[in-house]
Amino acid sequence: MADIVTIRNLTKTYGDGFEALKSVNLGIRKGEILALLGPNGAGKTTLISTVCGITRPTSGTITVRGHDTLKDFRAARRLIGLVPQEISLEPFERVMNTVRFSRGLFGGGRDDAHLERVLRQLSLWDKRDARILELSGGMKRRVLIAKALSHDPRVLFLDEPTAGVDVELRRDMWRVVEGLKADGVTIILTTHYIEEAEAIADRIGIIAGGDILLVEEKAALMQRMGQKQMEIQLQDPVTEVPAALADFDLQIGGDGTLIYTYDAQGERTGITRLFSALPDAGLVLRDVQTRQSSLEDIFVNLVNGDAA
């Protein structure tokens, strides 16, 4: 699928010399949900802010549907909606007015029918005349999304949209995001929650130290980088790995089991050979369980530089 956002050699160095982005290259496909994962200070928010025009790039180019975000900023920004990390809303303003204001800023004429659709989609229609300060935290986050959607953007940036919200609300937000995707909106979200990326993203990007470490299809990433572990329960628990099994990558489990880690995509997993070797070591097999490593494991490995 064609890229709707193209980022080329993007760098950002702040006035104090801190290099927040180091020659970032990224293509965001039309209609996808791309999750950007990264630790604090990785450059996630700087990347989003630079695409949206809040932060000036030091060098490099960004285009949105072919429109340069600096030279042709009006056309580029009309295509973009941004939901910021912080809940930034005028406390005394009413929901409908603040959403109408956002639409106006983007040059959209008054279209209350569209705003009604957006508010209904986000379950905010009943609160349209409420003041922002009367709303719960979760509703305020929805208002931020409504404001971002008020001008009908084709690309939506969500900067940690579920930070600090409870599990139920987070899942609710995922449904909203999936609904937007179904409407053809391209979604880029940054998150600390690995399960969020696992649950809703099509592709995963991992960013650390201002570098994009990888961008890959979620399923392919988990398959390619996922390691499997097999827990071998024995008739008689062991306290150390027998010498006859020293050639295998084995560890002792908490209750005297053997933990065997192997590459599920490897040509040979070594499982057959291991099972054959167990009787030679005087061990009797009782039960076996396997477990796939999660995206979290992959993320930690990559960020720690252990993933090669």
Partner 1 sequence: MNIGAIRAIYVFEMARTFRTLLQSIVSPVLSTSLYFVVFGAAIGSRIDQVEGVSYGAFIVPGLIMLTVLVQSVNNAAFGIYFPKFIGTIYELLSAPASFVEITAGYVLAAATKSLVIGLIILATSFFFVDLTILHPVWMLAFLVLTCLSFSLFGFIIGIWAQNFEQLQLVPLLVVTPLVFLGGSFYSIAMLPPFWQTVTLFNPVVYLVSGFRWAFFGASDVPVLASLAAIVVFTVACIAVIALIFRTGWRIRK
Q: Give the footprint of partner 1 on this chain (CB under 8 A).
A: 14, 49, 52-56, 73-78, 80, 82, 84, 86, 88-92, 97, 100-109, 147
Q: Give Cα separations from 81 to 22, 185, 187, 272 (angstroms).
A: 24, 10, 10, 53
Helix H or strand E segment including 148? helix 137-149
Describe the crossing of helices 112-121 and 95-105 by its angle, rounded to 10 degrees: 120
Would you say 28 or 82 has its CB closer to partner 1? 82
Would you say 124 or 245 has its CB closer to partner 1? 124
- Identity of the residue numbered 42: A
Would you say 68 or 172 has its CB closer to partner 1? 68
Taking the complex as a whole, the smallest distance from the CB of residue 167 to partner 1 amounts, in Å, to 26
Q: Is-contact 81 149, C-beta < 8 A?
A: yes
Q: Give Cα separations from 156 to 3, 146, 195, 244, 284 (angstroms).
A: 14, 11, 20, 57, 56
Task: Identify the CA nearest to 140 among candidates 113, 171, 162.
Answer: 162
Taking the complex as a whole, the smallest distance from the CB of residue 89 to partner 1 amounts, in Å, to 7
Q: How many CB atoms lie within 10 A of CB 75?
A: 14
Taking the complex as a whole, the smallest distance from the CB of residue 122 to partner 1 amounts, in Å, to 17
- Quickly list DSSP for 7-47: EEEEEEE-TTS-EEEEEEEEEEETT-EEEEE--TTSSHHHH
> CA 241 to CA 133: how far, in whole Å?
61
Taking the complex as a whole, the smallest distance from the CB of residue 11 to partner 1 amounts, in Å, to 14
Taking the complex as a whole, the smallest distance from the CB of residue 19 to partner 1 amounts, in Å, to 14
- Identity of the residue numbered 188: I
Taking the complex as a whole, the smallest distance from the CB of residue 2 to partner 1 amounts, in Å, to 23
Would you say 56 or 268 has its CB closer to partner 1? 56
* Dihedral class, residue 53 (left if φ above 0, else alpha if ψ from -120 to 50, else beta): left
Would you say 80 or 283 has its CB closer to partner 1? 80
Would you say 158 or 197 has its CB closer to partner 1? 158
> CA 166 to CA 177: how far, in whole Å?
16
Q: How many CB atoms lie within 10 A of CB 305?
A: 9
Task: Identify the CA nearest to 77 among candidates 68, 87, 89, 86.
Answer: 68
Taking the complex as a whole, the smallest distance from the CB of residue 74 to partner 1 amounts, in Å, to 4
Taking the complex as a whole, the smallest distance from the CB of residue 27 to partner 1 amounts, in Å, to 21
